[in-house]
Structure 1
Amino acid sequence: MYRSLYEEIKPLIFNGESGVLNIDYEYGDSARIVLNEGLIEGVLTQRLNGKEAVETIAKWASFSARFSKDKNGINQNLIAIDTSDFLSILEKVDKIIKKINTVIPSNNAIFKGDTTKVDKHKRFSSVDFKIMLLLDGKRPLKKVVPESGYSELDVLISIFRLVSSGIVKFLSDNVSMPDNEREAFISTLSNKLTEFVGPAAAILVHDAFQALGHGPEMLAREEIPKIIESVYDPLDKKEREALAQWSLDFMQK
């Protein structure tokens, strides 16, 4: 699930805390929000200060945060920030992110765009079009976001709009298996099926991934049971039991 900095900063402000909220952003940046008795003294990123820093971090939705009461190390001159305005900006973003979470589960999510449906939607912007082209049904959002050239929030809003319009569809939220592990699974599965059904094994494996809705390169461990169930039909009881036991052993490695 995505979240906004509103969840992190609100209790610190309301409790009158003094210190620094340190934020590590998923996509190669970091920020510090400096507080004094519940008021924002300043906001810094690696390159920005003040209002520009606020506008930047407000659009972060994938991050970790930790609060420290130690202000040592804040040597840069801080540009004044209005606490009420800052909180208002983050609250608006928080409401947007809550809506986004109903459609986009995490940055591991994989989506695929359908260019044939573009002409039917008049509100389709150039940003939407670029984002849609990046949604190739293979890469998770954590790879799409940095490639897009837009802020994370802008990308998520665009995808939310595209999904709601039916131009983009959700495929998966699972983390793909490492290449060597995935290749070992598919190779062994193919060999075992060949023992049971001969050359038809290749067709069974192909159809199993068709039913899954994506190619082998996106296979997640959680999807192995679905693959096994998809190849059951031509197998007898003993073959099914043997295949099920092998897949169970594989997943428990």
Structure 2
Amino acid sequence: MSSSFLLRYVGLSMLSFALVACSSSPTGRNQLVLVPEDQLNQMGAQSFEQIKSETPKSDNEILTQHVQCVADRIISVLPDKYKQQAWEVILFDDPQINAFALPGNKIGVYTGLLEVAENQSQLAAVVGHEVGHVLARHGNERVSTQLATSQALALGYQLSGEDSAVKTAVFQGLGIGAQFGILLPFSRAHETEADLIGLDLMAKAGFNPRESAELWRNMSKTGSSSTPEWMSTHPSNNTRINTLESSMDEPYRIYSVLKSNNNTAKCY
């Protein structure tokens, strides 16, 4: 079987997966979702419990209240399906500059992030971004894409005849191509989409959306990766700043209306 036929075969196999379970993200992007939502929620809850067992909670009551307030404001503007759920929000005592949200209504923030997020709006940009991943079902999409890709490659390998050095080399190449041509770009698309969803959420919640770009300028000062963007799961800091600033008009208009009505967030 020729390598060109194998490429066509794998492409058609992956297309068949997409036709089985295609849906749209909140921004209208087509996505592949294969895993039942209840199962993802259960997985998210289990992961959160594991993190709680391994990482201590912060005992700083003031910072904990700040984080809870920011999260509550973001949750208050979510679609009813999510807003009506009981979200668990924890500030973890850990120096890493990070936060996360998981299916199953879980939000975690690390104290290290508060060293970089200089005000409530910058923290809201991170929380909104992480919740955006949940709203857009990025976890499900990533698992589904990896499943579809691995299954298509495995099936193609089984149906492609006798083992040989050429066959092995072809499928190794396909695996590398899938990583850089499908999985990593999907991940970067997820990050950009979460940035835009988060920008909208923070503005509606009464946080200054312009601080989202300032947050990433702060992030740039903490050090930058030498990995080229096309080989990374995340866009570069400059790319994120440019995307946020070019999408700022409508979120800032929303925030300005809230500000004129004295309805902006006041968490700290």
Give yes or no for TM over 0.5. Answer: no
Larger radius of gyration: 1
More helix by share: 2
The two structures have a TM-score, normalised by structure 2, of: 0.20
Higher relative contact order (CA 8 A, sep 6+): 2
Q: TM-score, normalised by structure 1?
A: 0.21
